[in-house]
Structure 1
Amino acid sequence: MPRAVPFDVPPLLGLLTDAAVAKHLSRGMQSGQENPPQVALRKASTPLPDDETRWRTAPVRELLDVAMTRFDDNRTAADGWLAPRLHATLRMTRAEAGDGRLWNHLAMLVAPDYVVWRHKGAEIAQSSRFSGPHYTQCFSRLWWVAELFRDGPDYRPVEIACSVQDILNTTLRLDVIDHRPTAQALLAVFKSLISSGVPRPGDHINAVSSAVNTAGSTLIYDVLAPDNPPLVEDLQDWIADMAEAPAVHWDRLPEGPNDGRVPRTAIDVLVSFFEKLLVEAPVRRRGRVPTREDVGDSPQQSAVPAPREGVSLAKDLPSWMT
């Protein structure tokens, strides 16, 4: 049974400026005590084309209602369920998704109640959850985690990426995640780390994420582990197919755009490198000064899995990287 929405939801998504959000976002909205000023917000927004079904709000609103019903007892778990389904419902290019005005509109006019439900702390949901960077804004971060961590049409890696909040809060911020083999290699390391049962895996995830970002750039990792060029036409076909596509299944992962999978050889090269970084990266546990026991003196003493034989930090890198 659909949840009752205490305000009118516009039929189409639109664009809403940061200035309009700053003007109309009240503490009452952030706490869930007030409804959005719909008339003022609609006047300030620009609707997207009504001849494109992908901009209709009803499918998105339905997904959010289902998420709030299913995950009311564990709200962080909603991220892993919603991210791939939101991505497969809001089909667009990265350039379109990079327009923060779209996410502002979704948060302020379509689903401010979801923002509060998911991100309200002791008193309010922070303003950056309504309008903020792509790795912080409530809906943008879910779309982008699905976009950056999917393997072509396969959304299963996205579920891993959403399983620990530190991946969303820290790893998603890294520029190197734009390089698909880097994203998939990091997930492979994270998956091994999580399955090993190491205490406080988020601390290790933050440490290796920082080390990977410090050790290289997208250009460097592309030299070490080249990716295949994106299949742009296949992506465009997937976007165009939205007009005829059924609603995403609630109990089965959707299929993303078939725009090319990440080369397995490229992932393997980087996994070996990142496992080495994982062992050597200083782990800064929350609330205390790190000690030698956080990482150990050797792979055998470390609390994280030992790296496989392969790339070493300096020996196997090009000379211009060392």
Structure 2
Amino acid sequence: MITQPHHMPERLALLSNSAADPFLTEGLLRGDEVHSGIDLAKVVEPLPEDDARWSVEPIRSLVDDAMFAFDEERTRADAWLAPRLHATLRLTRQEAADRRLWNHLALAVAPDYVVWRHLAEPSRGVAAARFQGPADRQCFSRLWWAAELFRDGPDYQPVEVACGNQDLIHTVLRKDLIDHRPTAQALVRLLKNGKVTTGREINGLSVAINAAGATVIYDAFAPDGSRDPACLRDWIDEAQTAPPVSRHVLPDGPDEDPVPEESVTALTDYFTELFETAPVRGRNKED
């Protein structure tokens, strides 16, 4: 298994897709070899030096700890790392939508983590999209966005539940519907109460939810509370002096109001009814 690049940058930067392509070698994807980091550093676009958020050390420390703690069951690292990555790398959604940032994190800072987490069979290699791909596939952006969409205000506990189920991330994260906070929390509640557990059940429920309505309809049926943008700005500003996130207890996210409980309850009940007739492959009609 590869190690981290010999030349480790001190700060995150932006790495375009075209600049990243030469470093996505067959040797890297197989987990056999990694670039030195020197040539890659020559083709990046720097980020502002006066912003503490771009420091590499806190993120590198997190992935090292994740690899140590979850080496026997690597998929479990997602639930641990997602909230801590989100709370360490305090981004606006506009910043998080820039794939160049995630390209750099995956290729320059932690290519060994990407291989460690996603190399199932050396003969097949790691999918290139884990380094340089859409938000629901790229190794780190998928975790950041899962934390952003499933957190309940400052509470990351729902993120742990959501990221503990790979099928939920793979199936739901790519759908616009999940941007409705009560929908996200209702799905987490269905997981917690054991109503929906398997990949087939999650897929079937997802199809039923999308067929039944759209975000605007669910927002009228189960409205979300207003969100004060100042809370997010303050949380981002606090990154300049924030200590490293705890490895043992969950950090706190932006101090936003939680999702209205009545909306979560209403959607949980509605989705439970939908699930009874959802097209779950392999489920008997009698069930």
Coarse TM-score class (shorter-chain normalised):
over 0.9
- Three-state SS of the structure 2 residue aligned to 1:161 is helix
Give the corresponding residue for 1:296.
285
CA distance in 1: counterparts of 2:17 and 2:36, whole angstroms = 16
The answer to whether structure 1 residue 254 and structure 2 residue 243 are counterparts is no
Equivalent pair of 1:11/1:57 in contact (CA under 8 Å):
yes
1:57, CA displacement in angstroms?
0.4
Equivalent pair of 1:24/1:37 in contact (CA under 8 Å):
no
Give the corresponding residue for 2:262.
265
Equivalent pair of 1:36/1:112 in contact (CA under 8 Å):
no
Question: What CA deviation, in whole Å up to 9, does each residue of 1:233-267 have, x standing for no partner?
Answer: 01100010011111000011001111221111111
1:115-134 mapped onto 2 (5 Å cutoff)? 115-123=114-122, 124-134=125-135
1:198-217 mapped onto 2 (5 Å cutoff)? 201-217=198-214
- Three-state SS of the structure 2 residue aligned to 1:245 is coil
Equivalent pair of 1:279/1:295 in contact (CA under 8 Å):
no
| Gaps in structure 1 of 5+ consecutive residues | 285-289, 303-322
Coordinate RMSD, CA, aligned: 1.6
Give the corresponding residue for 1:24.
23
Runs of 4+ deviating beyond 4 Å: none
CA distance in 1: counterparts of 2:267 and 2:188, whole angstroms = 11
- Three-state SS of the structure 2 residue aligned to 1:11 is coil
- Three-state SS of the structure 1 residue aligned to 2:62 is helix
The answer to whether structure 1 residue 182 and structure 2 residue 177 are counterparts is no
1:39, CA displacement in angstroms?
2.8
CA distance in 1: counterparts of 2:220 and 2:88, whole angstroms = 34
Equivalent pair of 2:52/2:240 in contact (CA under 8 Å):
yes
CA distance in 2: counterparts of 1:185 and 1:118, whole angstroms = 28
Give the corresponding residue for 1:46.
45
Pair 1:295–1:44, CA change in 2 (3 A):
farther
CA distance in 2: counterparts of 1:174 and 1:189, whole angstroms = 18
CA distance in 1: counterparts of 2:180 and 2:47, whole angstroms = 30
1:162-173 mapped onto 2 (5 Å cutoff)? 162-173=163-174
CA distance in 2: counterparts of 1:295 and 1:148, whole angstroms = 33
Give the corresponding residue for 2:140.
139
Equivalent pair of 2:20/2:103 in contact (CA under 8 Å):
yes
Bigger relative contact order (CA 8 A; separation at least 6): 2
- Three-state SS of the structure 1 residue aligned to 2:86 is helix
1:40, CA displacement in angstroms?
2.7
What amino acid is the match of 1:283? V
1:30-179 mapped onto 2 (5 Å cutoff)? 30-123=29-122, 124-179=125-180
Give the corresponding residue for 2:280.
283
1:7, CA displacement in angstroms?
1.8
CA distance in 2: counterparts of 1:36 and 1:150, whole angstroms = 36
Pair 1:295–1:220, CA change in 2 (3 A):
farther
What amino acid is the match of 1:139? F
Equivalent pair of 2:51/2:240 in contact (CA under 8 Å):
yes
Question: What CA deviation, in whole Å up to 9, does each residue of 1:167-204 have, x standing for no partner?
Answer: 111111111000101111111112222xx6x8x62211
CA distance in 2: counterparts of 1:65 and 1:79, whole angstroms = 13
1:6, CA displacement in angstroms?
4.5
1:75, CA displacement in angstroms?
0.2
What amino acid is the match of 1:17? S
Equivalent pair of 2:231/2:256 in contact (CA under 8 Å):
yes
Q: What is the identity percentage for the equivalent residue pairs of Structure 1 and Structure 2? A: 51
Question: What CA deviation, in whole Å up to 9, does each residue of 1:80-119 have, x standing for no partner?
Answer: 0000000000001111101111000000100000000000
More divergent stretch after superposition (39-48 vs 170-179): 39-48
Equivalent pair of 1:135/1:168 in contact (CA under 8 Å):
yes
Equivalent pair of 1:10/1:110 in contact (CA under 8 Å):
yes
| Gaps in structure 2 of 5+ consecutive residues | none
The answer to whether structure 1 residue 244 and structure 2 residue 241 are counterparts is yes
Pair 1:160–1:295, CA change in 2 (3 A):
farther
1:137, CA displacement in angstroms?
0.3
CA distance in 1: counterparts of 2:140 and 2:70, whole angstroms = 16
Give the TM-score, by structure 2 length. 0.95
Give the corresponding residue for 2:222.
225
Equivalent pair of 1:146/1:158 in contact (CA under 8 Å):
yes
